[in-house]
Structure 1
Amino acid sequence: MRKIIDTHIHLDRYKDREISEIVSEVDALVSVSMNLESCKRNLSLAKIHPSIRPAFGWHPEQEIPSDDQLAQLFSWIHTKKDETVAIGEIGLPYYLRKKNKLVQSYAQYIEVLESFIKLAVQLDKPVVLHAVYDDAHIVCDLLEKHTVKNAHFHWFKGEKKLLERLKTNRYHISVTPDLLYEEEIQEIVQGFPLDLMMVETDGPWSFKGPFVGKQTRPRMLHSTIGEISQIKEMELDDVYKLIYINSNDFYIVK
């Protein structure tokens, strides 16, 4: 089987009995975190399975924790800085805002995001970003402000103008199995450089199309890479190799 890395999965949300099999499907996985409890769970899984690379952060599609809770999370990340490959998942709550379910003001979410970006700079870590459409412009402003070079926009969605900004800054994006049936994502892949592209499942998030009713697993990424090969009109082996190199170099998962 060709080498592959799942660059964005919530492995801590799977059942214990499923994780060993999931891990066996790829060469490495970047398991992102939702909060402090999630960070601790991902770290414990990484100690059991060396191919798991944990990322520590706070997912934006939820209520902002208190100042004390944030301070506790930041303190814990500092103590575990050598055991994480990135700060993430972090970003802005596009979907909460779309559903009019924000508890705090958007300015507060931006403030929290900037504090995590500063932490990443301080610890010299890449950032894993939940930022789509207009939110991605705000995030780019912050990344440029703090001179962040290694940024990964997971499951990216956005207009061509925004794609150009990401390309100019040499930020990475990752593509999920929805590439097989979402025209919007197919157009993004068509116009984005392959040397800035990675693949992910965002599991256990479920997919449609040929994946309806199936548990999201890293093995689905072989179909994703096959679709990239067709869109880019490149040899399949070459696409596998370059995406693996991109992922390995970004997260240093050797």
Structure 2
Amino acid sequence: MYYVDSHIHLSDKNYNKYHKMIFDYMRQANVQSICMSEDFNSSVEALSLKEKFFKDSDLFRVFVGIHPQFAAGSVNLQLFESLLQSKLEFITGIGEIGIDPTYTNLDPDNTLERQKIVFEEMLYLAEKNEKPVSLHSRKSVNEILEILPSYKIRNAIFHWYDGNKSNLKRINDKGYFVSFGPYLLYSNDKHALLKESDINLILVETDGPVKYRNCFDGALTSPSMVISIVYFASVLLKKSFEEMSEILYDNSTRFLN
């Protein structure tokens, strides 16, 4: 049986001294990790990990992209596209990309207009190269849903979905996926969202190195956590663990195409 952590930042420096432990676990437990990037440097690092440790294995997949937090400043979109084209055989998708008004308060140069320019460039590259996308949509689900149909995107996932039920229905009606993380084990709001989701359009994730509280307090966020999420999802949706595992793996396969 296979499991999939659909969103984790394994190229983050917080994981540097844990790579061997995590990679050994992934191989032993058959947990596939989709490594997300946030800028040019993390994209390069993710690709380096892929080539060094999983060159001939699909257990480690790479998404490259520019996170809205890093849309301002010296983003060189031509350099990013050159990287994409030169390493296309090792790149599964484009992510983490999106829009987030939170970051406009932290950096006056990171305007929503600038974020949208970078976001649309990432969508263009995804369309051009027929890649799925992983979306950061905090406080911006409506804006993203307005932009996405302008591009022929193979598949899209609203990572860490935290919107309302009406937008969830809009997302699922368009055939887009949503993902749920370790917070599912202790958040009643997320329980309700999971139950409202199309079961064929959900994935699970950890979003490491983000840390979690309650039962995960103090633990290193790693792909191993997806087993607990799968189990709890099976309880909430009244499925057997085996059936839930198969559904989520099939969903992941369709998302990655």
TM over 0.5: yes
Q: AA paired with 1:86?
A: G
> By how many angstroms is 1:149 displaced?
4.1
Distance 1:147 1:61 in 2: 25
Assess if the C-alpha contact under 8 Å between 2:130 and 2:154 holds in 1. no
Q: Which of the residues 93, 106, 117 maps onto 2:112? A: 106
Distance 1:94 1:187 in 2: 26
> By how many angstroms is 1:241 displaced?
0.8
Assess if the C-alpha contact under 8 Å between 2:2 and 2:32 holds in 1. no
2:70 is aligned with 1:62: yes
Assess if the C-alpha contact under 8 Å between 2:15 and 2:209 holds in 1. no
Encode CA deviations 1:103-151: one digit per residue, 9 max, x unaligned: 2321111121111101110111011111134x01111111111132400
Gaps of 5+ in 2: none
> By how many angstroms is 1:46 displaced?
0.5
Assess if the C-alpha contact under 8 Å between 1:90 and 1:128 holds in 2. yes
Distance 2:238 2:144 in 1: 32
In structure 1, what is the equivalent of residue 90 of structure 2? 83
Name the SS of the counterpart of 1:125 in structure 2. Answer: coil
Distance 1:247 1:136 in 2: 22
In structure 2, what is the equivalent of residue 21 of structure 1? 21
Alignment size in residue pairs: 247
Superposed, 1:141-152 pairs within 5 Å as: 141-152=146-157
Over the aligned positions, Cα root-mean-square deviation in angstroms equals: 1.6
2:127 is aligned with 1:121: yes
Distance 1:241 1:23 in 2: 22
Q: Which of the residues 139, 145, 158 maps onto 1:153? A: 158
Name the SS of the counterpart of 2:68 in structure 1. Answer: coil
In structure 2, what is the equivalent of residue 248 of structure 1? 253
Assess if the C-alpha contact under 8 Å between 1:126 and 1:150 holds in 2. yes
Name the SS of the counterpart of 1:162 in structure 2. Answer: helix
> By how many angstroms is 1:209 displaced?
1.3
Provide TM-score, normalisation by structure 2. Answer: 0.91
Assess if the C-alpha contact under 8 Å between 1:149 and 1:169 holds in 2. no
Superposed, 1:154-193 pairs within 5 Å as: 154-193=159-198
Q: AA paired with 2:41?
A: E
Provide TM-score, normalisation by structure 1. Answer: 0.92
Gaps of 5+ in 1: none
Q: AA paired with 2:80?
A: L
Encode CA deviations 1:152-185: one digit per residue, 9 max, x unaligned: 1111110111111111111011110000111221
Q: Percent identity of the aligned residues?
A: 28
> By how many angstroms is 1:63 displaced?
4.9
